[in-house]
Amino acid sequence: MKNYAIALLSTLIFACGGGNETETTTDFSNITFQMDTVVVDPGEEIINLRGGLWSSTMNSDNSKLYLWDNQAFTLDIIDLDELGLERKVPFEKEGPNGVGFFVNWMSLPDDNQIILAIHQGMGIFDLKGKKLSHLKIEKDKFEGDSLLEGESFHNKSFALEGGDVVYGLLINPWKSPKGSLSKVDFEAKTIKKMELPGEDELPDYVVNGTTEKLSTIITSIKTVQKFGDKLVLSSTGYTDLYILDLKKDSVYHVDYTPQLSAKAKKGGYPSEVKSEKQLREVIEDIYAEINFQPLIWDEQNKKYYRFSFETSPTGNTDWPLFQSAEEKPLSKLFLSVLDENFNLLGESDLTELGSVPTFAFVKDGKIWYYVNVDDELGFVRMSFGGV
């Protein structure tokens, strides 16, 4: 285990109430971060980190990480309390318990079942690899809101306990990259797309790149997360959040304005590019502006944390075309702290950290985030006071 500590100073920290409430000031001028790195023991096995933690999910108390291996077709169950690989669960590609050939995303309806999704639908499995049911959206078999051509649940979506009702982003990234926050009831065969107040006014962007060798769409990445009885829709492009109250089945909009960074990307990018060189230049411009990470919920302290960052353009075109913003040279890094009602409590400049925390979560009152330690699964654990 590696241990080290750093002390970082925030340049401006404040707290404010929502609506017409009076503003109050909080002193966060000295925040000391204690950090250490831990590595998971795989025993005699190998944990495949080729895709990082992209195809992973966690259980309700963040004690276990479930990592899908698209090469070996196994589900690695990792005990984060013991920092060891608990077991590998083999799955079948085809047959009555078949998963399909490539898992796009996964989530847990409860601690005993897992959803593995492919483009053609979603399978609900137990944690021994047995398929319990298969969920597929078919355009002519569902009532309610219309399903656009090629739409499916994008990235991680969430099933309520029992698995028949799924919430997430319905999207065809090649036709309508904005997507719709939706509820699909597979038993009642209904689709409900949620109205997001003010969404059309947000500074989203879509860049189409079409050349002889390339056809792609660059857009802001939207993420849906589940925190208790709420789903939170966030974007890499702005601070605005949409909260879906699962008890009331209704959506409301919340917003906050940082003082250390812009609250949104400026936008104004070309909607179409005709060369790979121009596409790379546009991507660098987009990444150089503020980028917002998904929220991180701290159950112990009843706060949300959110990292945001800017990158430094390299000025060359030698980098991999689909390199993520987090992999670019870091220019600035910030941490925002919000209360449980999404009011901004404070901010801090963490540029000295040197890299952007990814796949972050809170466990035992500390922020954990993924690191590759000599091809072994590792986590940096960050604890701090004053927030």
Q: Is the pLDDT of residue 24 over 50?
A: no
Average pLDDT taken over every residue of the chain: 86
Q: What single letter denotes the amino acid at residue 339?
A: D
Q: Quick one: pLDDT at residue 212? A: 66
Among the listed ranges 1-5, 193-197, 210-214, 267-271, which one has the minimum average pLDDT value? Answer: 1-5
Q: Quick one: pLDDT at residue 242? A: 97
CB 197 within 8 A of CB 146: no
Cβ-Cβ contacts under 8 Å for 244 (sequence gap 6 or more) = 167, 181, 194, 230, 231, 232, 233, 250, 251
Q: Quick one: pLDDT at residue 119? A: 77
Under DSSP, is residue 187 helix (H, G, I), strand (E, B) or coil?
A: coil
Report the C-alpha gap between 119 and 125 in whole angstroms.
17
DSSP 44: T
Q: Is the pLDDT of residue 16 over 60?
A: no
pLDDT, tens digit, for every residue of 338-367?
999 999 999 999 999 999 999 999 999 999
- Tell which residue, 252, 226, 250, 249, has the closest CA to residue 241: 252
Q: Are strands 56-58 and 64-69 parallel, antiparallel or unpaired?
A: antiparallel
pLDDT, tens digit, for every residue of 44-57?
999 999 989 999 99
- Tell which residue, 358, 356, 355, has the closest CA to residue 368: 358
- Tell which residue, 359, 306, 303, 336, has the closest CA to residue 156: 359
Report the C-alpha gap between 283 and 327 in whole angstroms.
13
Q: Quick one: pLDDT at residue 312? A: 94
Confidence of residue 194 (pLDDT cuts 50, 70, 90): very high
Q: Quick one: pLDDT at residue 322? A: 76
Q: What single letter denotes the amino acid at residue 61?
A: D
- Tell which residue, 74, 77, 67, has the closest CA to residue 99: 74
Confidence of residue 7 (pLDDT cuts 50, 70, 90): very low
Report the C-alpha gap between 201 and 42 in whole angstroms.
48
Q: How many CA atoms lie within 13 A of 340 on its CB side?
A: 9
Report the C-alpha gap between 91 and 200 in whole angstroms.
42
pLDDT, tens digit, for every residue of 197-250?
998 888 778 888 776 666 777 888 899 999 999 999 999 999 999 999 999 989
Confidence of residue 190 (pLDDT cuts 50, 70, 90): very high
Under DSSP, is residue 377 helix (H, G, I), strand (E, B) or coil?
A: strand
Cβ-based burial of 356 (10 A; exposed 0-12, middle 13-18, buried ≥19): buried
pLDDT, tens digit, for every residue of 100-134?
989 989 999 888 999 999 877 899 999 999 999 99
pTM for the structure as a whole: 0.89
Angle at CA of residue 204, ends 202 and 208, nearest 5°: 160
CB 225 within 8 A of CB 251: no
Q: Is the pLDDT of residue 18 over 70?
A: no
What are the backbone dihedrals phi and psi of residue 281, each rounded to the nearest 5 degrees, phi first? -65, -40
Phi-psi region of 194 (alpha: psi -120 to 50; beta: other; left: phi over 0): beta
Report the C-alpha gap between 26 and 137 in whole angstroms.
49
CB 265 within 8 A of CB 241: no
Q: Is the pLDDT of residue 30 over 70?
A: no
Q: Is the pLDDT of residue 177 over 70?
A: no
Q: Is the pLDDT of residue 270 over 80?
A: yes
